[in-house]
Amino acid sequence: MAIHRRDFMKAAAVSAGALSAIVGSVRSVVPKAKAGDKVGDFDKVPIVNGDLAAYPPFEKWDSWKELSGEDWKRGGLLRHDVKVHEHMLVPTICNNCEAVCGLTAWVDKETLTVRKYMGNPLHTGSKGRNCAKGYAVQSQMYDPDRIPFPLKRAPGSKRGDGRWVRTTWDEALDTIGKKMNEVLKSGDALAKKSIMHHVGRPNESGFTGRVWASLGQDFQNSHTNICSANGRFGSLLWTNDDRSAPDWENARLIFLISSHAADAGHYFQQAAGQIAAARKKGAKLVVLDPRLSNSAGIADLWIPCWPGSEAAIQLAIGAELIRNQQYDRHFIEQWWNWQDFMAATDVHQLYLDRGFLSKLPSGDSFEAFEAVLMDLYGRNHTLEWAAQEARVPVSMLRKLYDYVVYAGDRISSFFWRASAAGNRGGWMSSSRAGIFLLSLTGNFGGVGALGVHHGRHISVGGKGHAGTAGGKPEHVDEWNELSWPPEWPLASYELSFLLPHLLTDTEWQKKWQAKGLTVPSKVPVWIPRMYNPVWINPDGFRWIEVLRDESKMELTFNPSPIWSETNWFMDYILPVGLSGERHDQHSEPTNVEAWAGFRQPVLRVALEKMGWEPKDPARATLEAHMKAGLGEIWEENELWINLAFKADPDGSLGVRKYWESKLNPGKPVTIAEYYDAAFRGLPKLKAAAEKAAADKAKKAKTPLEKKLAAFAQKFPCYDLMRDRGAWTEETHVYEQHKHHLHKDEAAQTVTVHAPQFWGGKVTYPLDQVQTDARTKQLYVETEEGRHNIGVVGHHGEWEEGFETPSRKLDFYAAWMKDWGWPEYSVPIYPVTDAQKQQMEHVVSHVHHAYMTEPNAFALNTIFRLPYNIHTRSVNSKWLMEISQNHAPLWMAARDAERLGFRRGDPVKVKVVDTVSGLESGYFIAQCQPTEGQAPGTLSCSHHAGRWRVMNDIQVEGFDTPLHMNRTGTPEVEIKEQGTVRTMHPVAGIQPFAVKAHKEFGEKGWPYAEFNHDLHNIKWDGLSGVWQNATHHPHPDPLSGMHCWHQKVVLEKPGPGEKVGDLKVDIQATYDTYKAWRDKLTRPAPGPGGLRRPEHLKRPWVPLTRSAYKMPTT
Long-range contacts, 155-160 (Cβ 8 Å, 24+): 158/548, 159/547, 159/548, 159/550, 159/556, 159/569, 159/570, 159/571, 160/544, 160/547, 160/548, 160/568, 160/569
Q: How far is CA 418 from CA 98, 290, 396, 404, 639, in A?
A: 16, 10, 20, 21, 36
> For residue 27, is pLDDT > 90?
no
Q: Which residues contact 854 (CB under 8 A, 6 or more apart)?
A: none
What is the C-alpha separation between 7 and 21, in angstroms, rounded? Answer: 22
> For residue 1012, is pLDDT > 90?
yes
Query: pLDDT tens digits, residue range 1100-1110?
Result: 999 999 999 99
**Mean pLDDT throughout 751-773?**
95
Judging by beta carbons within 10 Å of its beta carbon (0-12, 13-18, 19+), is residue 760 exposed, middle or buried? Answer: exposed
Q: How many helices (H) and strands (E) does the chain have?
A: 36, 43
What is the C-alpha separation between 860 and 857, in angstroms, rounded? Answer: 10
Query: pLDDT tens digits, residue range 34-52?
Result: 544 444 578 888 888 888 8
CB 513 within 8 A of CB 1006: no
CB 90 within 8 A of CB 606: yes
Question: What was the pLDDT predicted at 74?
Answer: 60
What is the C-alpha separation between 86 and 41, in angstroms, rounded? Answer: 10
H or E element at residue 583:
none
Pick the closest to residue 963 from 158, 150, 157, 143 (CA basis).
Answer: 143
CB 439 within 8 A of CB 331: yes
What is the C-alpha separation between 805 and 793, in angstroms, rounded? Answer: 18
Quick one: DSSP state of residue 45?
Answer: P
Question: Tell me, which fold does domain 244-452 have in CATH?
Answer: Dimethylsulfoxide Reductase; domain 2 (3.40.228)
Sequence letter at residue 289 = D
> For residue 104, is pLDDT > 80?
yes
How big is the chain, counted in residues? 1113
Question: What was the pLDDT predicted at 72?
Answer: 57
CB 883 within 8 A of CB 873: yes
**Mean pLDDT throughout 645-665?**
98
Query: pLDDT tens digits, residue range 972-1011?
Result: 999 999 999 999 999 999 999 999 999 998 889 999 999 9
**Mean pLDDT throughout 844-871?**
91
> For residue 540, is pLDDT > 90?
yes
Question: What was the pLDDT predicted at 76?
Answer: 53
> For residue 464, is pLDDT > 60?
yes
Question: What was the pLDDT predicted at 259?
Answer: 78
Give one DSSP letter per residue of 666-729, joined into a string.
Answer: TSBPPHHHHHHHHHTTSHHHHHHHHHHHHHHHHH--SHHHHHHHHHHHHSHHHHHHHHHSEEEE
What is the C-alpha separation between 645 and 993, in angstroms, rounded? Answer: 42
Sign of the torsion formed by the C-alpha atoms of 148, 150, 155 and 160:
positive
Query: pLDDT tens digits, residue range 722-752?
Result: 999 999 999 999 999 999 999 999 999 999 9
Q: 3-class secondary structure for 592-646? A: CCEEEEEECCHHHHHHHHCCCCCCCHHHHHHHHHHHHCCCCCECHHHHHHHHHHH
Residue 858: phi and psi, rounded to 5, are -95, 120
**Mean pLDDT throughout 438-467?**
96
What is the C-alpha separation between 357 and 341, in angstroms, rounded? Answer: 14
**Mean pLDDT throughout 615-622?**
98
CB 426 within 8 A of CB 232: no
Instruction: Pick the range with the lowest mean pLDDT from 69-83, 551-565, 796-810, 1066-1080.
Output: 69-83
Sequence letter at residue 1097 = K
CB 878 within 8 A of CB 139: yes
Question: What was the pLDDT predicted at 748?
Answer: 98
Roughly what angle, to the nearest 10 degrees, separates helices 671-679 and 683-699?
130
> For residue 114, is pLDDT > 80?
yes
Residue 346: phi and psi, rounded to 5, are -65, -35
Longest dimension (CA), the chain: 92
What is the C-alpha separation between 637 and 675, in angstroms, rounded? Answer: 11
Query: pLDDT tens digits, residue range 264-320?
Result: 768 889 999 999 999 999 999 999 999 999 999 999 999 999 999 999 999 999 999
How many C-beta atoms lie closer than 10 Å to residue 307's C-beta?
29
CB 469 within 8 A of CB 651: no
Q: How far is CA 519 from CA 164, 651, 753, 1080, 1089, in A?
A: 33, 28, 32, 22, 17
Q: How far is CA 626 from CA 458, 619, 622, 999, 1004, in A?
A: 33, 11, 6, 11, 9
**Mean pLDDT throughout 848-872?**
89
Q: How far is CA 742 from CA 593, 680, 797, in A?
A: 21, 21, 11
- Kindly indicate the confidence band of residue 961, based on its pLDDT and cuts at 50, 70 and 90: very high
- Kindly indicate the confidence band of residue 205, based on its pLDDT and cuts at 50, 70 and 90: very high
**Mean pLDDT throughout 231-250?**
96
> For residue 1068, is pLDDT > 90?
yes
CB 992 within 8 A of CB 500: no
**Mean pLDDT throughout 202-217?**
94
Question: What was the pLDDT predicted at 266?
Answer: 81
- Kindly indicate the confidence band of residue 71, based on its pLDDT and cuts at 50, 70 and 90: low
Peptide bond into 888 cis (omega under 30): no
CB 452 within 8 A of CB 730: no
Judging by beta carbons within 10 Å of its beta carbon (0-12, 13-18, 19+), is residue 363 exposed, middle or buried? Answer: exposed
Percent of the chain with pLDDT over 90: 87
Straight-line distance from the first to the last Cα atom of the chain, in angstroms, rounded to the nearest whole number: 77
3-state secondary structure of 164: strand
**CATH code of the domain made up of 834-1080:** 2.40.40.20
Question: What was the pLDDT predicted at 264?
Answer: 75
What is the C-alpha separation between 372 and 509, in angstroms, rounded? Answer: 45
CB 1112 within 8 A of CB 1089: yes
How many C-beta atoms lie closer than 10 Å to residue 171's C-beta?
12
CB 419 within 8 A of CB 429: yes
Q: Which residues contact 373 (CB under 8 A, 6 or more apart)?
A: 322
What is the C-alpha separation between 264 and 98, in angstroms, rounded? Answer: 10
> For residue 1036, is pLDDT > 80?
yes
CB 1092 within 8 A of CB 1098: yes
Instruction: Report CA Rg, the chain.
Output: 29
The domain segmentation of the chain, as residue ranges, is 244-452, 740-800, 834-1080
